[in-house]
Amino acid sequence: MRRNPFVYYGKKALIFLLSVFLLSVTVFYISRLAPGDPLMSYYGERVEKMSVEEKETARGKLGLNEPIYIQYIRWVENAIKGDFGISFKYKQDVMQVIGSRIGSTLILGGTGFVLTFVGALLLGILCAWYEDRWVDRLLCKGGTLLSCIPEFWLSLVLILVFAVTLHLLPGSGAYDVGYKNNVLNRIEHLILPLVIVVLQHLWYYAYMIRNKLLEEIGADYVLLGKSKGLSKRKIMFRHCLRNVLPSYISLMAISVPHVVGGTYIVETVFSYPGIGALSYESARYHDYNLLMVLCMMTGILVIFCNMIGQIINEKLDPRIKATEVVETSEVTEL
Amino acid sequence: MTEKELFTVVGIRPEPPAPKKKVKRLKGFPWISGILLALILLCCLFAELLMTKEPGYLDLQNFNVAPNGEFLFGTDTLGRDIFSGIWYGGRISLTIGFLATLISTLIAVVYGSVSGIAPGWLDALMMRFTEIFLSIPGLLMVLFLQAILGQANVLSLSVVIGVTGWASIAKVVRTEVRQIRNSEYVVASKCMGGKFPHILRKHLAPNFIASIMFMVVMNVRGAIGSESTLSFMGMGLPLEIISWGSMLSLSEKALLTDSWWIIIIPGAFLVTLLMCLTNIGNYLRKSANRKESNL
Amino acid sequence: MSEILLDVQHLTHVFRLDKHAVIKAVDDVSFQMKKGEILGLVGESGSGKSTVARCIMNVYKPTGGKILYRDIDIGDKAQLRKHRKMLESLRQIIFQDSTSSLNQRMTVADIIAEPMSIHRMRPARGSLRAEAEFQLSYVGMDASYLDKYPTELSGGQRQRVAIARALSMEPELLVADEPIASLDVSIQAQIINLLRHCNREHGCSILFIAHDLSMVEYLCDRVGVMYRGRLVEIAPTAELYANPRHPYTKALLSAIPIPDPIAERSRKRIDFDEVSFDRDGVLTRIAADHFVLMQEEV
């Protein structure tokens, strides 16, 4: 039984669309049904002084009076046309608000992701290479400690040390006033948040690599390799790493939302103008249109990365394919 | 030879008596972490005996005081005594940690068992959902839920953290249940007439409890961490309810006045607690693995 | 002629793998077991022996056919419900893999007492623990093993515990699903003798499933040979070993090594041609108690 690639990817695409649809319905309903007044975010303090009729007209103007499913249908209609409504809080087109912020997050999250990916791989290999020697033990202990420190507190301590006490690095914002286009200034502002993002994730993946490598090293084929006289380096890089990499890559694909989208705490602590801080605000102030788009973006990213991870797993790892073949051959034979 | 003789020759040859078991139950137990954790727990439980000041009292004459003889850990920007707050607030942090974990574990055991017993397609669907759930940044989800729910209290915060933290435990429960369900000792038990409650009590539960203990401890750790993060960001407990997180929410102001003790002291307690839990969790994981591979 | 304990009639069991593929694990198998008899069931792996055992134990629901245990149709829901308790205590099973058939988190005492505690039986020797100790001594292990976990025992000891658990209910029918396949030869002999002892002393009937033909010859009164889900030949042990009729049985028997190097050298193996296997034959009686699967003569 050979799979038709059109059927294969078609199926995936269909599942993807269905998930996105379900996601949008869920987010829409939950955000609408939750307590809290969206008028607050649009009119701010003025709401309290408005009369009942004024509130009604305001709600009507924003389309908040109709049944939720009609609101939803209208939202989908507009969304297909590329119109996601305006942000109640910023009184701007949602896409504009997001567009002005997304660059910073992508730089922070993207750089963080790449550094984590490479760093974890190197650290993992280092630890596995020196298994149970002092390098490995030190790194393991350090990693465990690091994983126990809440992100926000680490940020605070770093700000306290490097910005407040030592005055070495800036502690907030993406650039100083008047230095908007100065690359160096921006890099300076990026260092501390980036360190936090990387430190937060690095250890988890490095530890995974280490353990998977050690698992491989314990396998019989490594013993065979050793008895054939292969060097440790060859065994590690040619054989063990080759078996570990596919699952690592697919895990990293799944982790994209975690790392790239997980910058909201850092962004908030460092007042870094990115999507993370924005989504936190939109949830807090019931900025429906903005919240909806942000949720959809996160959700789509999550589902998409999950699928990519799955496909990578199926395509890259010959072992998975092999088991499939065995199963089908068994079935046809009997 | 007769039947009887044959039997004595290669029949049930008696086994030598079993060697005495050496009691090595707590091999590798992280004693330092265990004692520290016990100390923190006891101190928080009997906070009233330790507190030198009323933890919520706003001492307007002594705000931002560095640690000294009277205020052992100093006072915060509102003039509250940090030493008293640590023990009093630790109680709230721990309560949330345990309550949230209880909720997560309950959901996880039910969800995992259902998925483990369910037919293939439903199981696949449920696990797919869990995976997607897992890849959403957990704190982000808590943040959204809490933002939508509005002002938090101890219970609502525990519920929100609880309902977002069950997925990884559920996965383990499901794997265990699926594995055990098809194992021969369950088949044997069924043959003997064991009904589902008996199998659940005698076979399923002991097995998955051992393997989720580690995750449950880690879940407590995660919940306490989430509480502090949320409170710090102003989405969790308000300032009046003292917890380690809400004490840290004054940090931004502390940064401006360079009052390191407001940031460092509650944080150090937090990190110590999380570290102790991690070490104990790791010990539990290792001992569960050892038992399984000890063939 | 002693009474018939178990009557398997046209038993068929089909596994459905997915929408398209099905496996006929057991295909129209019929045989009878008398009370107090040891019946061997041999065949290569995948020939459906274990499936037959599991159908008899009500683990699998047969796709077709009937299994009568003392005239109770165990495939029939109403009859099964009525006699469930009796059936569950009279039939016991021993599995091949003692590692997985004993729960690693229970002590030996708990494992042996499990069937008794399920049926809330009043232990004849005072307590469940005393009962477990007695059963353990019966299989040659002393009380010092009671508080051990299966992982602390050797394979042979584990299998003894599994047998002790089965025997604690004083079963009438013992289904032994390859109980010796993963054991050392010396331990195999002990287990075989133990089973034989149970049969001789307590009159317990045994359905013994194995692929070791010499052990089967030593232990069993009658032997059935299975191939690809079909029972191809069944006869008293001496008759079958002396006078095999089905080509598969011949091939199987020719594969037994002879413990004499000179004779072993001249032993000729008969190959069985899989293609020539005729699934559609009928079990035909060719001698007093000897049935062979063959094409019906018209």
pLDDT attached to residue C208: 92
pLDDT, average across residues C109-122: 84
Inter-chain touch C58–B191, beta carbons under 8 Å: yes
Q: Is A33's Cβ below 8 Å from some Cβ in C?
A: no
pLDDT in tens, A61-102: 666 667 778 878 887 888 788 777 777 777 778 888 888 888
Strands (E), A53-100: 86-87, 92-93
Q: With beta carbons under 8 A apart, name residues in chain C contacting A331.
A: 17-18, 20-21
pLDDT attached to residue A263: 78
pLDDT in tens, B177-188: 888 877 888 888
Judge if A21 and A113 occupy the same domain.
Answer: no
In a domain, A294, yes or no: no
Higher-pLDDT residue of B19 and C162 is C162
- Interatomic CA distance for residues C211 and C45, integer angstroms: 8
Which of B13, B185, B210 shows the shortest C-beta gap to C190?
B13
pLDDT at residue C96 greater than cutoff 50: yes
Least confident interval from A116-120, C29-33, C283-287: C283-287
- The domain C4-215 having CATH identifier 3.40.50.300: the answer here is yes
Calculate the CA C92 to chain-centre distance: 10
In a domain, A263, yes or no: yes
| A154-193 CB burial, b ≥16 within 10 A, e <16 | bbbbbbbebbbeeeebbbeebbeeeeeeeeebbebbbebb
Distance set, CA A152 to CA A158, A159, B125, B226 (Å): 10, 11, 35, 10
Higher-pLDDT residue of A30 and B279 is B279
- % of residues, chain C, pLDDT over 90: 4
Rg of chain C over all Cα atoms, to the nearest angstrom? 20
In a domain, A281, yes or no: no
- Interatomic CA distance for residues C216 and B17, integer angstroms: 31
- Domain end marker among A68, A94, A120: A94
- Interatomic CA distance for residues B149 and A31, integer angstroms: 10
pLDDT, average across residues A299-325: 69
CATH level 2 (architecture), domain B71-288: Orthogonal Bundle (1.10)
Token pair, residue C204, equals 């317990």
Judge if A22 and A73 occupy the same domain.
Answer: yes
Q: Would you mind telling me the total number of residues written for chain B in this entry?
A: 295
In a domain, A151, yes or no: yes
pLDDT, average across residues A294-312: 81
Judge residue C259's burial from the number of C-beta atoms within 10 Å of its C-beta, 0-12 exposed, 13-18 middle, 19 or more buried. exposed
pLDDT attached to residue A326: 33
Inter-chain touch B148–A34, beta carbons under 8 Å: yes
In a domain, A30, yes or no: yes
Inter-chain touch A258–B135, beta carbons under 8 Å: yes
What residues contact A14, with CB distance under 8 A and at least 6 apart?
A: none
pLDDT attached to residue B100: 93
Structural domain range at position A67:
5-94
What residues contact B224, with CB distance under 8 A and at least 6 apart?
A: B93, B94, B96, B97, B244, B270, B273, B274, B277
Strands C22-34 and C222-227 come out as unpaired
Mean pLDDT of chain C: 83
pLDDT attached to residue A324: 39
DSSP letter for each residue of chain B: --HHHHHHHHS-PPPPPPPPPP--TTTT--HHHHHHHHHHHHHHHTHHHH-SS-TT---TTS-SPPS-SSSTT-B-TT--BHHHHHHHHHHHHHHHHHHHHHHHHHHHHHHHHHHHHS-HHHHHHHHHHHHHHHHS-HHHHHHHHHHHH-S--HHHHHHHHHHHS-HHHHHHHHHHHHHHHTSHHHHHHHHTT--HHHHIIIIIHHHHHHHHHHHHHHHHHHHHHHHHHHHHTTSSS-TTS--HHHHHTTHHHHHHHT-HHHHHHHHHHHHHHHHHHHHHHHHHHHHHHHHHH--
Low-confidence ranges of chain B (pLDDT < 70): 1-15, 17-26, 135-137, 139-140, 147-148, 150, 290-295
Q: Is B268's Cβ below 8 Å from some Cβ in A?
A: no
Q: With beta carbons under 8 A apart, name residues in chain A contacting C21.
A: 331-332, 334
To the question of pTM greater than 0.95 for the whole model, the response is no
Q: Is C23's Cβ below 8 Å from some Cβ in A?
A: yes
Token pair, residue B167, equals 């997925």
Confidence of residue A119 (pLDDT cuts 50, 70, 90): very high
Confidence of residue A322 (pLDDT cuts 50, 70, 90): very low
Inter-chain touch C104–B12, beta carbons under 8 Å: no
pLDDT attached to residue B98: 93
- Domain end marker among A69, A94, A119: A94
CATH number at residue A264: 1.10.3720.10
Here the ipTM equals 0.80
Q: With beta carbons under 8 A apart, name residues in chain C contacting B15.
A: 140-142, 145, 157, 160
Question: Which of C14, C17, C26, C275 best tests the A interface by mutation, with the highest count of A CBs <10 A?
Answer: C17
pLDDT attached to residue A331: 29
Judge if A228 and A113 occupy the same domain.
Answer: yes
Strands C230-236 and C64-69 come out as unpaired
Token pair, residue A195, equals 């360190």
pLDDT attached to residue C2: 64
Q: Is B26's Cβ below 8 Å from some Cβ in A?
A: no
Token pair, residue B125, equals 């669907």
Judge if A77 and A133 occupy the same domain.
Answer: no
In a domain, A278, yes or no: no
- Domain end marker among A224, A254, A273: A273
Q: In 10 A of CB A317, how many CB atoms?
A: 17
Q: Is A1's Cβ below 8 Å from some Cβ in C?
A: no
Token pair, residue A6, equals 């059109």
Say how many domains are in chain A: 2
Q: Is A279's Cβ below 8 Å from some Cβ in B?
A: yes
Judge if A87 and A119 occupy the same domain.
Answer: no
pLDDT attached to residue B295: 42
pLDDT attached to residue B9: 45
Rg of chain A over all Cα atoms, to the nearest angstrom? 25
Q: Any idea where the domains of chain C sit in the sequence? A: 4-215
Calculate the CA A73 to chain-centre distance: 29
